Amino acid sequence: MANYIMMMGTSSHVGKSILTTALCRILYRQGRRVVPFKAQNMALNSYVTRDGDEMGRAQVAQAEAAGLEPVADMNPVLLKPTGNSCSQVIIMGKPVGNMSAREYHKGYSLKAFGAVKDALARLDREYDTIVIEGAGSPAEINLKANDIVNMRVAKHLQAPVLLIADIDRGGALASLVGTLELLDEEERALVKGLVINKFRGDVTLLTPAIDFLEEKTGKPVLGVIPHIEQMGIDDEDSVSLQEKMAVPEDGDVKIAVIQTPKISNFTDFDALSHEQDVSLYYVKDSDGLGQPDVIMLPGSKNTTEDMLYLRKSGLADLILAHEAAGKPVIGICGGYQMLGELICDPEHTESENDEVEGLGLLGMKTVFAKEKLTSQVRGMCRDLPFMGQYISADDLRGYEIHMGHTEFTRAGDEHPFMITERRNAACESVEGTANGINVFGTYIHGVFDNDKFRRSVLNAVRISKGLEPLANTRNTAAEKQQAYEHLADVVEEALDMDKLFEIMGESCGNRQMADGQEAAQNVHQAGENV
C-alpha cells in the first residue's frame, strides 16, 4: 500500500502542477517508486501515450520527473472543451462523447469516479508513493457535490493535503484562511500543511505572516517557495499564455503564434521559445500581430470555429498578407488544416458548421470523421523546400491527435513529411504538405522538439534575412531533465522535508484505518440486509 501526498490550491494557476512535478523528482532521486496522479484534467493541452491513450500534459511532465513512461492511469479523466459550455470527455485515454457542463457535472462525473478509483487501485499496487494533484480550488461550493478531483479523492484515500497559495498575485493569506473556512470539518482535518508559492524577495520579511497563519489555522506552513524564472517545463493550460503576449523588441527571429479561442497543444512551440536567437509571442487579435518573421498556427479543438475566428478578427487577412510578402507561415495539426482550401465537418464532430473555407495556402481539403486518431509516431522529413533551403531530418518523433482526413488537391505542392512508424508498427503515411516556397504544415505534434529539424527551420529563416546560420548545440531532452533537477533543488531547499515525510508516513496508517472502518460498515449493512 502506497504513501500519499496531495497538492491542492486556493485557485487555479497557483503552482500545483509544478510543485507536484518537483515532489516527483525529489522522491524519485531518493529511490522511491513514485508516480503522479490527477483524477481529472480540463485542458486542451494533451499528449498521446505509447498505447495511443490521450492524457493531460501536466501528468506527462510529472511522469518524466518521476522517471516513468506516461500512462492513462495517471490521468484517468480528461475534459477537452469544444465550445458553448461543452467538452469532449475522455476516460482512460479514450473519448466517450461530447457533453455539456450540466450533463457532465450533474450526471456523469460520479460515474467517471469509478475509473478514478480503479486507476488509483492499480497505481497503489505498483508504486510506494503517489503524489496527487487537485484542480482549481476544493472550496468551490457550487461544484463540490459532484467534484471528483479534489476532496473526494482525498477522502477516498485518506490522503494528507498540502494547500498552496500564490503570493505573487496577492491575497495569499486571505485565500488560505478563506479556503480552510469553506471546507467541512473532515476536509479541514485532511489538510496537514500550507505552502506559499512564487515568493519574491527576502523571505524573513514574511515571518509575521507565517506566524499568523499557523496560529489562525492551526496548520503548519511547510515552506515558502521562491518565484522561479524560466523553468523550462511544459505549461499545463493556456492561462500561462497571458504572460507571453508582448511583442518582442529583440531576437533575430520573431515568431508569432496565433492564439485562437480553442488553441490546443501550444507546448509544440516551447522548444522554439528556448532558442537563443528566437523571440516567440502569442497573438489574440490583429492589433497584437506586429511584424513577425514567422507566423505559426497551432492545433485546435474546434478547427472550423477557430478558422471563422481568424476571418472575423482580421487575422486571416494579415496572415495572407504576411505570406504574400514572402514570409513563412507554418501550421501544426488544426493549424495545418486551416492552411488548406476547405475544412468539412459533415458529421458535426466538432461544431455545427458543415464546411468552412481555409486560408488556401496549401492545396488540400480536410474532412472530419467521428473516430479520433491518437498515436505516437516516428517519421522523416525529406527535402522540405522552405525559404530557399531544403530541410531533411531522418528520425522525427512526435504524436498525432486529430479527427480529420486530409486529401491533396494541388499538383504543385510538395509532401515531404512521412510517418514511418505508428504505434510501433511500420507504415508509410504522408502527414504534411508544403507549397515549395514559404508555407508548410504537418499533423505531427512535437515536431519542433526534434533538435536538428528545429534548428534547420530557424536557419532557413535566418539565411532569408541575411543572417548567418547557427550550429545546433541543444539537446532538448537533456535540458528538460536539467530543468526537473533545478526545480527539485529549489523546492527541496524551501520545504520542510522532515515534516513532509512525517505527514506522508501517517497516510498509510490512516488509509488502513479507513479501510477497516469501511469493511466493518459493509459487514454491518450486510447483517441488516439479512
∠ CA(169), CA(270), CA(89), 5° rounding? 75
Q: pLDDT band at residue 236, thresholds of 50, 70 and 90? A: low
Q: How far apart are CA 417 and CA 373, in angstroms?
A: 17
In the chain, what are the domains? 3-231+481-523 (3.40.50.300), 253-466 (3.40.50.880)
pLDDT on residue 527: 38
Is the pLDDT confidence value at 268 over 60? Answer: yes
Contact 193, 220 (CB under 8 A): yes
Contact 16, 133 (CB under 8 A): yes
Q: How far apart are CA 353 and CA 320, in angstroms?
A: 23
Q: Which is higher by pLDDT, 411 or 217?
A: 217
Is the pLDDT confidence value at 525 over 50? Answer: no
Q: How far apart are CA 223 and CA 312, in angstroms?
A: 48
pLDDT on residue 468: 97
pLDDT on residue 529: 39
CA distances from 442 to 151, 249, 262, 297, 337 (A): 41, 29, 18, 11, 9
- Of all residues in the chain, the percent with pLDDT exceeding 70 is 92
Q: What are φ and ψ of residue 338, in 5° steps?
A: -65, -25
What is the pTM (predicted TM-score) of this model?
A: 0.88
Cell of residue 215, nine digits: 496560529
Q: What are φ and ψ of residue 183, in 5° steps?
A: -85, 155
- Average the pLDDT over 150-177 and give the result: 95
- Average the pLDDT over 287-300 and give the result: 96
The sign of the dihedral angle between the CA atoms of 425, 427, 431, 433 is positive
Is the pLDDT confidence value at 127 over 90? Answer: yes
**342 contact partners, CB below 8 Å, separation of at least 6:** 355, 356, 357, 358, 365, 366
pLDDT on residue 520: 42
Write out pLDDT tens, residues 436-457. Answer: 999 999 999 999 999 999 999 9
pLDDT on residue 73: 98
Name beta bridge partners: 500: none
- Average the pLDDT over 381-406 and give the result: 93
Q: pLDDT band at residue 74, thresholds of 50, 70 and 90? A: very high
Q: How far apart are CA 259 and CA 283, in angstroms?
A: 5
pLDDT on residue 522: 44
Which among 465, 476, 467 is positioned nearest to 274, based on CA atoms?
476
Neighbours of 513 (CB within 10 A): 11
- Tell me the DSSP string of 78-137: EEEEEETTEEEEEETTEEEEEEEHHHIIIIIHHHHHHHHHHHHHHHHHH-SEEEEE--S-
Which among 222, 257, 290, 7 is positioned nearest to 136, based on CA atoms?
7
CA atoms within 13 A on the CB side of 365: 9
pLDDT on residue 305: 94
Neighbours of 47 (CB within 10 A): 26
Contact 306, 300 (CB under 8 A): yes
Catalytic residue (choose from 24, 86, 333, 381): 333
Strands 161-166 and 191-199: what pairing?
Answer: parallel
Provide the residue count of the chain. 530
Q: What share of the chain is helix, strand, coil (3-state, %, to 5)?
A: 40, 30, 30
- Element spanning 182, H or E: helix 172-182
Is the pLDDT confidence value at 83 over 80? Answer: no
Considering only 88-92, 271-275, 467-471, 509-513, which range has the smallest mean pLDDT? 509-513
CA atoms within 13 A on the CB side of 502: 9
Strands 299-300 and 129-133: what pairing?
Answer: unpaired
Q: How far apart are CA 192 and CA 6, in angstroms?
A: 10
CA distances from 157 to 78, 425, 508 (A): 21, 39, 9
Contact 492, 499 (CB under 8 A): no
Is the pLDDT confidence value at 114 over 90? Answer: yes
Q: Does 13 participate in catalysis according to the annotation?
A: no
pLDDT on residue 510: 52
Cell of residue 217, nine digits: 489555522
Which among 438, 385, 456 is positioned nearest to 414, based on CA atoms?
385
Cell of residue 392, nine digits: 531533411
Write out pLDDT tens, residues 313-355. Answer: 999 999 999 999 999 999 999 999 999 999 999 988 888 889 9
pLDDT on residue 523: 35
Please give the mean pLDDT across all residues of the chain: 91
Q: Which is higher by pLDDT, 85 or 399?
A: 399
Q: How far apart are CA 463 and CA 523, in angstroms?
A: 76
**115 contact partners, CB below 8 Å, separation of at least 6:** 76, 77, 91, 92
Q: Does 227 participate in catalysis according to the annotation?
A: no
Q: How far apart are CA 503 and CA 162, in angstroms?
A: 10
Q: Give me the residue label for grid cell 533538435.
A: 451
SS3 378: strand
Q: How far apart are CA 476 and CA 482, in angstroms?
A: 10
Q: pLDDT band at residue 384, thresholds of 50, 70 and 90? A: very high
Contact 445, 432 (CB under 8 A): no
Catalytic residue (choose from 445, 486, 508, 524): 445
Q: pLDDT band at residue 519, thresholds of 50, 70 and 90? A: very low
Q: Which is higher by pLDDT, 90 or 523?
A: 90
